[in-house]
Amino acid sequence: MKPQDIRKDFPQYKADATMAYLDTAATSLTPKPVLEMVNEYYQVYRASVHRGTYESAERATEAYENARASIAAFIGANTDEVVFTAGATASANMLVYALEHSIDWKPGDEIVTSVMEHHAMLLPLQQLAKRKKLVLKYAQLTKDFALDVEDLTELITDRTKIVSVMVASNVTGRINEISSTSLRRRSDVEGPILIRDATAAVGHMPIDVHELDADFIFFSGHKMCGPTGVGILYGKREWLERLEPGCVGGGMVEDVHEKHAEWTEVPGKFEAGTQNIAGVLGLAAATKYLDALGPAAVHVHAQELVTYAEKELAAIDGVTVLAAPAEHNVGIVSFTVEGVHSHDVAGIAGKNSVAVRAGHHCALPLHKALGIESTTRASFYIYNTMSDVDALVASVKEAKELFKV
């Protein structure tokens, strides 16, 4: 991977050539093909999809459905198993609402998840548990930030209806290498519903939905070169057919009567209202862009940067690295600096054009489990170089000097 060449595809480097953008885990930069695709839709064939009978509407519909096909191919899914949403959070909320109204819940039924989850999945599950009087159980972590599989499988009982575990942590970078068989240990025929939040992983490492073998997988487009405000909810076809839609309105019906309505086929039944068409097309362009680079190569590049960053940061007195070793890491390194609050580390880095994130990264239970208030997080992607790591390390040293620690 040649990040210096890749940078030529990202106009934001023209605006600020000196920046060390290490905040892809919050949102990535946007490459030209994505910007061009969004522009092309708005400038050439903007029209509503699935409705008009004129040329631009036909073209928009075709582009929209082709986008679904290429995004599905990118994750190894069947085209009709891919639902467009407004992002990972929208996917998770919609999914949980749909499950709430499609399954027979009994008080005391269980949801098993982990302390490392992002709030996007955790909070909808927590609210569901409250409303339906379910028991929400948390699997803990091992010393190297991995999910404690033994702990998790022990938590799963015959009353467990959902198991939800993220594919990779957005804080420690840890990839949960765990088979779907371990996650569905239950002995009865159906087993728990398996949900995987793949937001930190898709576009950063090879992801194949058949390998993950989950019932539902979701992610955002904007952490993988796509536009903001668009994401995916993947569901196994039989599940998508069984689920009640989480959002109803125009465009997702076969027929509407005064007192009831009939839903259209999957995946359309989950796409009420006018969708983020430009976003969808942009996301498809992002998957094509990443496909050309190769997700495996993207991952290797990030892991090289993780290796270097972990080594350089750990060598600084007072710095504690809270990240998985590179071979199990998606491309994220969080750390603390003794005597300097994460927000001050990030503030000083920001002044030096080093973009990192400070705080909880929407993973409060994880920080509580680790016994820390907050962390500074650097996340690595295709456009990052070893010099970016050097700039981060220099900023950490500057912060220590400034705070005299």
Partner 1 sequence: MNESIYKQHILEHAQHPHNKAEMEHPTVSLPAKNASCGDSYIVYLDIEDGAIKEATFSGVGCAISQAAASMLTDKLSNLSLEDARAITKEDIFELLGIELSINRQKCALLVWNGFQQALEQYENA
Of the pair 348, 378, the CB lying nearest partner 1 is at 348
CA 372 centroid distance within chain: 23
Which spans of this chain sit near partner 1 (rule: CB under 8 A)?
A: 341-344, 347-348, 350-351, 358-360, 364, 367, 373-374, 402-404
Burial of 350 (0-12, 13-18, 19+ CB in 10 A): middle
Task: Dig out the tokens for 59 from the structure.
Answer: 């073209």
Place of tokens 């680079």: 293
For residue 334, give the amino acid letter.
Answer: S
Closest contact distance (angstroms) between CB of 375 and partner 1 is 8
Nearest-angstrom CA–CA distance, 110 and 177? 23
Q: What does the DSSP assignment read for 76-108? A: T--GGGEEEESSHHHHHHHHHHHHHTTS---TT
Q: Cβ closer to partner 1: 236 or 357?
A: 357
Measured from the CB atom, the residue of 261 and 402 that comes closer to partner 1 is 402
Is 362 among the catalytic positions?
yes
Closest CB to partner 1 among residues 300, 402 = 402
3-class SS string, 17-51:
CCCEECECCCCCCCCHHHHHHHHHHHHHCCCCCCC
Smallest distance, Å, CB 362 to partner 1?
A: 8
Asked whether the beta carbons of 201 and 178 are under 8 A apart, the reply is no
* Alpha-carbon gap, residue 321 to 124, rounded angstroms: 30
CB of 364 to partner 1, least distance (A): 7
- In the bound complex, what is the minimum distance in angstroms from residue 196's beta carbon to partner 1? 25
Instruction: Report in angstroms the alpha-carbon separations of 199 from 63, 91, 191, 207.
Output: 24, 11, 24, 11
CA distance 388 to 355: 10
Angle between helices 295-314 and 277-293 (to 10 degrees): 80
In the complex, minimum distance from the CB of residue 358 to partner 1, in angstroms, rounded to a whole number: 6
Supply the minimum distance, in Å, between the C-beta of residue 405 and partner 1: 9
- Two tokens, residue 93: 């909320």
**Rg, the chain, Cα only:** 22
Report H helices in 144-276: 149-155, 180-183, 209-212, 237-242
Nearer to partner 1, 20 or 152 (CB): 20
Using the minimum distance from each CB to partner 1, give the nearer residue, 62 or 373: 373
**Shortest distance, position 120 Cβ to partner 1, whole Å:** 14
Catalytic residue, candidates 35, 57, 293, 362: 362
Q: Running DSSP on this structure, what letter comes out for residue 244?
A: P
Residue (67 or 366) nearer to partner 1, CB = 366
- Distance between CA 126 and CA 149 in Å, rounded? 21
User: Any idea which residues carry the catalytic annotation?
Assistant: 362
